[in-house]
Amino acid sequence: MTQDAKAPSNRPGPSVPSGGPGIGNGTAEVVLEAIGLTKHFPVRRGLRQLFSKERTAVHAVDDVHITLRRGRVVALVGESGSGKSTVARLLAQLYPRTAGDIQLHGKTITVKGGSAFRAYAARVQMIFQDPFASLNPVHTIRYHLTRALKIHHNAGKTDEDLENALRELLTRVSLTPPERYLDKFPHELSGGQRQRVAIARALGADPEALLADEPVSMLDVSIRLGVLNLLRDLKERLNLAILYITHDIASARYFADDTLVMYAGRMVEGGDSETVTQTPAHPYTRLLIDSAPDPDRLAADADPLEEDRGNGEPPSLIRPPSGCRFHPRCPMAMPRCETDLPIRLEIGDKPGHWAACWLYDEATVAAQQPGVAA
């Protein structure tokens, strides 16, 4: 992976022709892939533990698989503490991983800092939740964007090239006319405008993948849609691969092509967003959907899960529950769920829809055939 492979600096228009092979379906070119991604944070040990051999760690992420493709958005959904940000930070190579593989265009990449990190960041950029915290209050928008363009060798050769590149970036995020914003400080902009600047800064690297960690959750509800529409427009025009992290499964349905659901550090369900949100298979996904206000679902039929939903707390990730991590909260839990780690099982409705849940195991389904209620 080198800088040479990148488009020339000051490049107007899309860096890759849009509508490449397979866009709009699951066969578009893979940009970034995580295989068996695992992160355990060691816990600082107290005096008593110093004398025991037991090693304690927060099992933040275990055996996660994610594939980001050109021109597609993948949503990663889960409640607070489920490990979503840790996945994004691992993919951005901000943390070393405990196990697993991260592949950029099929090649394993492990970056520890310095120029290798810069070269990686030129292709994989992160957008954070809080645009105010991610912009330095003592510097202008011009400073932030110029720095990004220069670090990634996209500032051109002359002052005029730089000025054009700055205008181009602000125009791409619909902050127009650019001269109105260039010399402002972050506090002079609204939250939505600041997030647009943060996105423009990420685009200054001319990346192939954007990792957006709750990019709209700190914005007013009224401007969230505008920022999501901007990201969707960028995905289409620049053929970007986007990871969209959110608590809000309803926004995943609106914005993402595919949705992955995470619970307590593990993936529990995945598939195209329409299928996962309309016909959720995993009891945890159903719980998430039922906790999200959605007028379409207000008249949903009574369901045996209904009474139990919303109960319980997320588990400790220092000693995560054995078997399925959701079993202590799951109203459908069977004895097997307490002991056996569920494997990914295909759900019959749509290709690519899967759930890690024993309810869909052939043996369980067969046992329930005679009409015995669980």
Ligand X SMILES: Nc1ncnc2c1ncn2[C@@H]1O[C@H](COP(=O)(O)OP(=O)(O)OP(=O)(O)O)[C@@H](O)[C@H]1O
- Integer Cα distance of 271 and 26 in angstroms: 10
85 binds Mg ion (CB under 5 A): yes
- Applying the rule CB under 6 A, the residues between 300 and 339 that interact with ligand X are 317
86 binds Mg ion (CB under 5 A): no
Q: Which does 126 bind (CB under 5 to 8 A by kind): ligand X, Mg ion, none?
A: none
Nearer residue to ligand X within complex by CB, 42 or 351: 42
- Integer Cα distance of 204 and 143 in angstroms: 12
Q: Which does 71 bind (CB under 5 to 8 A by kind): Mg ion, ligand X, none?
A: none
Residue with tokens 């052939």: 362
Stretch that binds ligand X, among 15-23, 83-91, 152-160, 347-355 (CB under 6 A): 83-91
Contact 173, 127 (CB under 8 A): no
Stretch that binds ligand X, among 82-90, 189-197, 267-275, 355-363 (CB under 6 A): 82-90
Nearer residue to Mg ion within complex by CB, 85 or 146: 85
- Integer Cα distance of 338 and 358 in angstroms: 11
Check whether the bond before 177 is cis (ω within 30° of 0).
Answer: yes
Which one of residues 14, 22, 26, 81 is an interface residue with ligand X (CB under 6 A)?
Answer: 81
Distances (CA, A) of 136 to 144, 145, 256: 8, 12, 30
82 binds ligand X (CB under 6 A): yes
CB-count exposure of residue 56 (10 Å: 0-12, 13-18, 19+): middle
Q: Which amino acid is located at 109 in the chain? A: I
Which one of residues 10, 15, 67, 86 is an interface residue with ligand X (CB under 6 A)?
Answer: 86
268 binds ligand X (CB under 6 A): no
- Integer Cα distance of 51 and 57 in angstroms: 16
Tell me if residue 136 falls in helix, strand or coil. coil
Phi then psi dihedrals of residue 49, to 5 deg: -70, -20
Question: Shortest approach of ligand X to residue 367 CB, angstroms?
Answer: 35
Q: Which does 86 bind (CB under 5 to 8 A by kind): Mg ion, ligand X, none?
A: ligand X
Number of residues engaging ligand X in binding (CB under 6 A): 13
58 binds ligand X (CB under 6 A): yes
191 binds ligand X (CB under 6 A): no
Q: Which residues bind ligand X (CB under 6 A)?
A: 41, 58, 60, 78, 80-86, 247, 317
